[in-house]
Structure 1
Amino acid sequence: MTAGTELDLETEYNNRARVPEHPAILEAWRRDAAAYRTARAPLARLGLAYGPHPRQRIDLFPAEAEETARPVLLFVHGGYWQAFDGSSSSHLAAGANARGLAVAVMSYRLCPEVRLAEIVDDVRQAGLFLFRTTHRPLVVFGHSAGGHLTAMALATDWKALAPGVPRDLVRGGLAISGLFDLEPLVETSINGALGLDREMARRLSPLHRDPGRGARLEAWVGGEESGEYHRQSRAIVEKWRALGASTRFETVPGANHFTAVAPLADPASPMTEALVALAGR
């Protein structure tokens, strides 16, 4: 790889540099998430432990008029597997909650304290915890690194992972600004905390996994995001469709990497409609 290509990849994946106003957006996330937790306090079940680590926690937001025969939605936050937790994303449950769907917002351990494979395991353990707690299947959705973890959850053989769990525990996934091919990150500064080599990056890339026939994946990306983010989402949609999955690529017009998730808070947005469709009737 040439120095020029390395510089291009650094630019393509450095979302904070691409969006200079990101501090104000992130502060709005924190403010809106805290307000939503307060508003939902009578119903919400906060800080549910799915493991012993302080970050292995789930905030569960039931809907007021919940359709309990439908899946629970599990949201997985972003941050390049090395930043944030679920507390900055609580408000993103608003759209689905208003449509009668329960939403769980999870946190997970971060790199470099743990390796990326252990974060994938955190999502699986959170999924098993929710199934054992609610006795309902899941739809997983996530942003950025959470989009990667969404696809990894969808490609998991849940029945092989734990006895008594249905193979199709995850009924569908919606990945927003996701990362599905990790090999380009190996030569960027992002990998300083991740510690990936090329073999490990390929093994942990959902692009190179078979989700099984009938899997359902929506890949959304902000219209103003870098070409690499568009390539990543298009690539998994095309690859998984060829393997027999039902896939769709969509853009959020005018959105950057940080504003692409905003439609989740709107019960009438096309993105929320996609979640409702994944949850079925």
Structure 2
Amino acid sequence: MAGAIDYEAEYDNRARVPEHPAIFEAWARDAAAFRESHPPLEIAYGAGARQRIDLFRPTEDRARAAVMFVHGGYWQALDRSFFSHLAAGLLAHGVQVAVPSYTLCPEVRIEDIVEEMRRAAREMARFDRPLVVAGHSAGGHLAACLLATHWKAIDKALPAALVPAAYAISGLFELEPLLQTKVNARLGMDLAEARRASPILWEPEPGLVLDAVVGSEESGEYHRQSRAIVETWGGKGVATRFEMLAGANHFTAIAPLADPASPMVARLAALAKGE
């Protein structure tokens, strides 16, 4: 059909960035070196092997909120060990950074991963401070899910604004298009599950903050998804903001997190400090 969207091409980020193996290798190398020089506190939020959080703490804590960074990988790849170095930028601003892993599909469903990240957020709530949740790709989806979670409905002892802000980098907020791609082979979603797990269809509380950021070199679908949630949630009282990162592809879009002088880190630090 003329004008039909090739969802397979739109969501195949590795094919769009053929140099991705070298990027992944650099992530692993830089993250390992960072952990060597900045050993994190490991926190368990469940009994599963991957239900762990690395908490990186600054020399001087200068923020009222911590930032939790949730990794991507289409809910089926990677873990926190690839992303430790991304804490560097915020640590320089006196902001704590938590980096969790989660159980991967097909061992669990996407909705189970959402619940795991809620458990991780509840574990971080023990530190008696709110969370700004940043996330990349599938992690951007999970960040939006945490922002739109009604925490009092889960546990009356939790603050209603446990997650007052989210910063989604190259996020996925509407999962139905993935049903037509090979990504779904391991996710195993049907239409009903894809819709239930799509935060763009949820009802966030007004007064929250969502930034949706996408690289200029990403596919049209990634641009559409970020613009769509900004428009949809903006109409529901969320303070939304769209930003395009010049020259960035799906995998290089997160690189500014490691740079204390980057605008991305400045924005996240401001959110964490309530500025």
TM-score normalised to the size of structure 2?
Answer: 0.97
Are 2:86 and 1:97 equivalent residues in the alignment? no
Question: Quick one: distance in 1 between partners of 2:2 and 2:78?
Answer: 31
Equivalences for residues 8-47 of structure 1 within 5 A: 8-41=6-39, 44-46=40-42
What residue is the counterpart of 1:106 in the other structure? Answer: 100
Are 2:54 and 1:59 equivalent residues in the alignment? yes
1:181-228 CA deviation, whole Å, 9 max, x = no partner?
Answer: 100001110001111111111111011111111110000001100000
Are 2:198 and 1:205 equivalent residues in the alignment? yes
Question: Quick one: distance in 1 between partners of 2:123 and 2:163?
Answer: 13
Question: Quick one: distance in 1 between partners of 2:226 and 2:53?
Answer: 27
SS of 1:244's equivalent in the other structure is: coil
Question: Quick one: distance in 2 between partners of 1:166 and 1:267?
Answer: 30
SS of 2:168's equivalent in the other structure is: strand
- CA shift in 2, pair 1:224/1:165, >3 Å: same
How large is the Cα RMSD of the aligned pairs? 1.3
1:236-278 CA deviation, whole Å, 9 max, x = no partner?
Answer: 0000000010000001110100000000011111111110121
Structure 1: where are the runs of 5+ without partners?
none
Equivalences for residues 133-172 of structure 1 within 5 A: 134-172=127-165
What residue is the counterpart of 1:227 in the other structure? Answer: 220
What residue is the counterpart of 1:117 in the other structure? Answer: 111
Report the number of matched residues.
Answer: 274
One-letter amino acid matched to 1:170: V
How far apart are 1:163 and its partner, in Å? 3.0
Moved more, 188-197 or 147-156: 188-197
SS of 1:261's equivalent in the other structure is: helix
Question: Quick one: distance in 2 between partners of 1:277 and 1:216?
Answer: 12
How far apart are 1:4 and its partner, in Å? 8.6
1:30-83 CA deviation, whole Å, 9 max, x = no partner?
Answer: 001001101112xx213x11000000000000111112x511111100000000
What residue is the counterpart of 2:264 in the other structure? Answer: 271
Question: Quick one: distance in 2 between partners of 1:25 and 1:4?
Answer: 33
SS of 2:164's equivalent in the other structure is: strand
Question: Quick one: distance in 2 between partners of 1:188 and 1:259?
Answer: 23
Structure 2: where are the runs of 5+ without partners?
none
TM-score normalised to the size of structure 1?
Answer: 0.95
Question: Quick one: distance in 2 between partners of 1:166 and 1:19?
Answer: 41
SS of 1:170's equivalent in the other structure is: coil
Question: Quick one: distance in 1 between partners of 2:198 and 2:11?
Answer: 16
SS of 1:73's equivalent in the other structure is: strand
Query: Aligned residues: percent identity?
Result: 60
SS of 2:145's equivalent in the other structure is: helix
Question: Quick one: distance in 1 between partners of 2:226 and 2:239?
Answer: 14
One-letter amino acid matched to 2:29: R
1:92-121 CA deviation, whole Å, 9 max, x = no partner?
Answer: 111111100000000000000001110000
Are 2:174 and 1:181 equivalent residues in the alignment? yes
One-letter amino acid matched to 2:54: D
One-letter amino acid matched to 2:91: N
What residue is the counterpart of 2:45 in the other structure? Answer: 50
